[in-house]
């Protein structure tokens, strides 16, 4: 059974999106490294990277990738588009090896594989979205008690992470920065879907921008994106890119699916087998994330190990204290 023209267009856009986004991690990282030699690093609260052209190239690449991903959903169903986001992990890891000379231990590779398999399992068995024909419909869903509670919980957790855990653990636990990006990202995607519906209906001569709800969603997208970019920069400047990409993908996927289930109540159409499969996917993801966390610094002691890491970086094997100085 072949792909329909619309699905083929969506597939092409989704693959292109992954390539652009995966490459953006590397270009932004290179820009952050160069900017760090000229002023205060982003991980320490500096914004010197804003004057670094290479960082802006990465930023543009990420924007192009996100636009392509956004457009893909207009042609193909989410069940086809979302799993392809895992390709950005592969692109990022390969480029990090050749461009940044960052290492990825064999257990890190296994962790990446578990994350990708678990995420694909969840997405492929996620509930189908109900058709939405108006921004007002999305607004009605978003103002239901369930999603309001979820939104407040996300904002509370993000505030606690920013004011309590970032100063203490931001430079040693990447889950702090990535958690902020992922939580805010779940709200971003829900708002992006609303704005996408507004654009699609507007192009069909049903103007949705005359409703204030549309502009509220636009505002939410803008604010959430600013938060995501700020803390993603801090994460990239502090930790290994090959580890950041899969963990960010995993956490982002989990919270996005959770937000979508709460917002659109698609879980009502699921059977027991689908729910069990999704739970198995979550367990697989957690296992992969655990491996990534436990082995993220394993390569730093490669000089003392008998077995060398799968990917080696000369910048991180000189002294045992390099991990601390890098962070």
Can you give the pLDDT at residue 295?
A: 63
Q: How confident is the model at residue 89 (pLDDT cuts 50, 70, 90)?
A: confident
Mean pLDDT of 160-179: 89
| Whole-number percent of the chain with pLDDT over 90 | 16
Of residues 244 and 21, more confidence is placed in 21
Sorted by where each begins, the domain ranges of the chain are 1-102, 129-269
CB burial readout 229-259, b (16+ within 10 A) else e: ebbbbbbbbbbbbbbbbbbbbbbbbbbbbeb
Q: How confident is the model at residue 20 (pLDDT cuts 50, 70, 90)?
A: very high
- 202 closest CA partner among 192, 214, 187, 191: 214
Can you give the pLDDT at residue 171?
A: 85
Q: What 8-state DSSP symbol labels residue 127?
A: P
Can you give the pLDDT at residue 301?
A: 52
What would the pLDDT profile of 253-285 be if each residue is shown by its tens digit? 788 878 877 887 767 767 878 778 877 887 887
Angle subtended at Cα 119 by Cα 123 and Cα 12, rounded to the nearest 5 degrees? 65
> How far apart are alpha carbons 112 and 277 in whole angstroms?
20
Residue 308: is its pLDDT beyond 80?
A: no
Of residues 48 and 149, more confidence is placed in 149
pTM: 0.67
């Amino acid at each position: 059974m072949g792909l329909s023209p619309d699905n083929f267009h969506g597939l092409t856009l989704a693959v292109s999106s992954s390539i652009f986004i995966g490459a953006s991690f590397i270009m932004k990282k290179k820009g952050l490294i160069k900017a760090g030699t000229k002023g205060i690093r982003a991980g320490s609260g500096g914004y010197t990277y804003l004057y670094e052209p290479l960082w802006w190239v990465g930023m543009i690449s990420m924007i192009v990738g996100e636009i392509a991903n956004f457009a893909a959903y207009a042609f193909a169903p989410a069940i086809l588009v979302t799993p392809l986001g895992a390709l950005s992990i592969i692109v990022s890891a390969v480029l990090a090896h050749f461009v940044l000379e960052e290492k990825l231990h064999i257990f890190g590779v296994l962790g990446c594989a578990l994350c990708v398999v678990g995420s694909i399992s969840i997405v492929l068995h996620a509930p189908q979205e109900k058709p939405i024909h108006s921004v007002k419909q999305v607004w009605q869903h978003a103002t239901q008690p369930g999603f309001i509670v979820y939104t407040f919980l996300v904002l509370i957790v993000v505030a606690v992470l920013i004011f309590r855990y970032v100063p203490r653990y931001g430079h040693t636990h990447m889950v702090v920065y990535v958690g902020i990006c992922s939580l805010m990202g779940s709200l971003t995607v829900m708002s992006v879907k609303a704005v996408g519906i507004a654009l699609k209906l507007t192009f069909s001569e049903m103007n949705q921008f005359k409703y204030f709800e549309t502009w509220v969603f636009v505002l939410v997208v803008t604010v959430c994106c600013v938060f995501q970019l700020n803390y993603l920069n801090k994460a990239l400047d502090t930790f290994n890119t090959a580890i950041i990409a899969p963990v960010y993908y995993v956490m982002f996927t989990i919270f996005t699916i959770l937000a979508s289930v709460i917002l659109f109540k698609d879980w009502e159409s699921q059977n027991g087998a689908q729910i069990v499969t999704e739970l198995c996917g979550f367990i697989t993801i957690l296992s992969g994330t655990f491996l990534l966390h436990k082995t993220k610094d394993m390569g730093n002691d490669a000089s003392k190990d008998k077995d060398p890491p799968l990917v080696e970086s000369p910048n991180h094997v000189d002294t045992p204290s390099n991990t601390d100085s890098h962070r």
